[in-house]
Structure 1
Amino acid sequence: MTLTQVSSWKSFGGTLSVHDHESGLLGCTMRFAVYVPPQAKDGPVPVLWYLSGLTCTWANVMEKGGIQEHAARHGLMIIAPDTSPRGEDVPNDEAYDLGQGAGFYLTATQDPWAKNYKMDPYITDELPDLIAANFPAADMSRQGIFGHSMGGHGALTLHLKHPDTYKSCSAFSPITSPARVPWGEKAFTAYLGAPSIAWEQYDATELVKERPSKALLLIDTGTADNFLEPQLKPEIFIKACEKDGQRLDYRLREGYGHDYYFIATFMDEHIAHHAKALKA
């Protein structure tokens, strides 16, 4: 599995690098970023995956999230994948919330999406194999996952499905019940077809009813988030966690929105949350 390095910078004593590779699973060239902290020179370090939201790429969190400083302090490697398959031959849609940039971290079963849109096994299998083969400092026995908005949805669902792989989980402004909100209804109908049990397998609220994890989930959402009521609806997920025994620290942050000013403000607390769990 060959990587092509696109760029590299020294940052907070570590290294941020961007790489391309040919994905046999997705049938296209994929790009991702890796931050290797300074502690990696002394041996393997825990791995923390960050999944971005609609329209985003690896660049959003690495350029605007302030993540490297905190990862360097706690000694965590950060992996930032893309949010969908990309390329001229990959199906797309003119809308921002479907197609390229909007993979929803699922495996599509409907045409024309099914050939390329297989983002959950890309995140859980293909890309981790690539990381393990090319970054010897990555301790794949200690992995956590978090994300923003659509990426928060991805982080929660992948953690709940793979709690032994992703030992820690958090999210900023996640879509916690996509089967019940316009973003999710649109994407799920296109990618998965009519409402069915397949929808439930990509809905954190439904998953937590079936299989609550032992981890403490940390979630931050801003009270001034324009998407809070129409798309996020945190109260549905909070009630499900309370009923089914999922430990949850869900914090509503007064006056914050759905943006990277908000994410950067509380990034240190999320990195500390993962460091505590992964270094226990």
Structure 2
Amino acid sequence: MLKAEDQQLRNAGSSIPKLSAQNLDIVYTNSKTGVETKALSDINLQIQEGEFICIVGPSGCGKTTFLNTVAGLLKATRGTLAIDGQKVDGPGRDRSMVFQSASLLPWRNVMNNVLYGLELHNRLSGDSKERAQQFINMVGLKGFENHYPHELSGGMQQRVNLARALAVEPKILLLDEPFAALDAQTREFMQKELLRIWSETKKTSLFITHQIDEAIYLADRVFIFGARPGRVVDVINVDLPRPRDLNVKRNPVFLELVDYVWSIIEAESSKQGFDH
């Protein structure tokens, strides 16, 4: 396995990375006590155009904190974060977030939920429905345009969530454990579907998960965060051919990667005094 520094050099080309973090720290200050807690420490990473990146690590290691910083919802205490070389200093139209909860508006049907992102961006136009239909079709919901959230399964609701995020055509798709609330069978099916959609869009994707096999299955590279304060302790290059079917999870190379990542997370979890 390549260590984090070697992996960064290997993957850093002469072009400007799609996303880069340099010496990034996030420190929370308790407004009542003034006590400071460092959530992220000296994060350095680069993500290239079209990569699918997963981040794993022990509970509380700052994975979602990092994602929220990329989304512009949190500001760095130290260091820089940039998209296409431009500093991130707040939310922007170049990023879309897919949360664990689909958070669909119950009074809107599928079509109007997908259009909602465009509305928020003030980007509704004459061809908006055509664009929304394109992504509804892409996520496999053709024929369900007029259905309401309560008429859809959990997996179908997350498909709408994904279509809504894609419809605004972001530069980077941010996914915060989007399948965590689904049953095991639906989760695996959605993993496969997400890879199919990613292969069509080649959208740069940053995916947070606690599920190691999910990360290995989806990613080009897996960043492993260490125990709080979160930092990059290793970067795994997933040299498994694409497209990937679910049966790749029985491949000895796949299982070796899962065991390796788990060994690191287990060691990091012990530093926090609990098992992951």
TM-score (norm 1): 0.28
Greater RCO structure (CA 8 Å; 6+ sep): 2
